[in-house]
Amino acid sequence: MGRLNVSLCGISLDNPVIPASGTFGFGYEFAELYDINCLGTFSFKGTTKDARFGNLTPRIAECTAGMINAVGLQNPGVDAVISNELPKLQKCFNKPVMANVSGFSVEDYAYTCEKLDKCEQVGWLEVNVSCPNVHGGGMSFGTQPEVAAEVVRKVKAVTTKPVIVKLSPNVTDIVAIAKACEDAGADGISLINTLLGMRINLKTRKPVIKNKMGGFSGSAIFPVALRMVYQVSQAVSIPVVGMGGVSSAEDVIEMMLAGATAVEIGAANLVDPFACRDIINDLEKTMDKYNIKNLSDIIGGAH
């Protein structure tokens, strides 16, 4: 075990840095820029049962210290992901990958997860019950404990791999939802997804995004994400994957002190495609600065 090693749901990672779903494609696009095997793993583009074109444009808006997106889960559908995307990834990434799954019904989630569970490359299933950018799905499953728990039970019934549930911050009590997922059999909790936000064009006096609202991400949301990781990691006994505004090695360490076993990095990849590589390269130097011997020793250290 090296200084950066952590174990996520029983699977060893060389380091805790994970590019977040929707910011890293299916991985092979970034492999043209650097060797992505330096990553702990990554969460690939959100996948649904059927192909989705996504929302109408414009679907991106810039903000101070962040951005709003309403892409709407554009993806080729699970069958195309398995037949086309994963074989391309296999040529450039030799570690287990995290499969991010969304749905519009409990049955959708179970169907897609069951298919991806059979893929040897897939190490974890990250079940997204928290996307704020789609109508009739996504976040609607993650705002009530009993509904989120139902998704977990149905997915666990048809899968054998670790199931990590990605939760929404757009709720009153994140802890209650996380505990309901744990009680239903979840192997881990992933949080936070984007906050719900919007921008208005002063000239047209209309919302900038066609969808009106979208997911707000970037460094501005880091304190909110950190607080929720801290709360949830104290309340559950399963691993927490922290994310939300992470953009430096210091942020990674802060997330781990709050209770994260691993840390996903999202919007920073869209600003700088080398962000995750550079953060990994900075980790040991930053650990030395703060007298940290091994990252696995500091998980939850702020509690």
Task: Decide: 287 and 298 in contact? Cβ < 8 Å.
Answer: no
Cα 15 to Cα 37: distance, rounded to the nearest angstrom: 11
Closest CA to 114 of 72, 177, 163: 163
What length is written for the chain? 303
User: How many other C-beta atoms lie within 10 A of the C-beta of residue 92?
Assistant: 15
Q: Decide: residue 95, CB within 10 A, 0-12 exposed, 13-18 middle, 19+ buried.
A: middle
Query: Please, where are the H alpha helices in 184-274?
Result: 222-235, 249-258, 267-271
Radius of gyration over alpha carbons of the chain, in Å? 18
Q: Is 131 labeled as catalytic in the residue annotation?
A: yes
Cα 167 to Cα 238: distance, rounded to the nearest angstrom: 14
Cα 21 to Cα 45: distance, rounded to the nearest angstrom: 5
Cα 80 to Cα 73: distance, rounded to the nearest angstrom: 15
* Phi and psi, residue 31, nearest 5°: -65, -15
Task: Decide: 246 and 269 in contact? Cβ < 8 Å.
Answer: no
User: How many other C-beta atoms lie within 10 A of the C-beta of residue 202?
Assistant: 8
Closest CA to 134 of 75, 201, 187: 75
In this structure, which amino acid lies at residue 289? K
In this structure, which amino acid lies at residue 236? V
**Catalytic-role residue among 9, 113, 131, 181:** 131
For residue 166, give the DSSP letter. Answer: E
Active site residues: 131
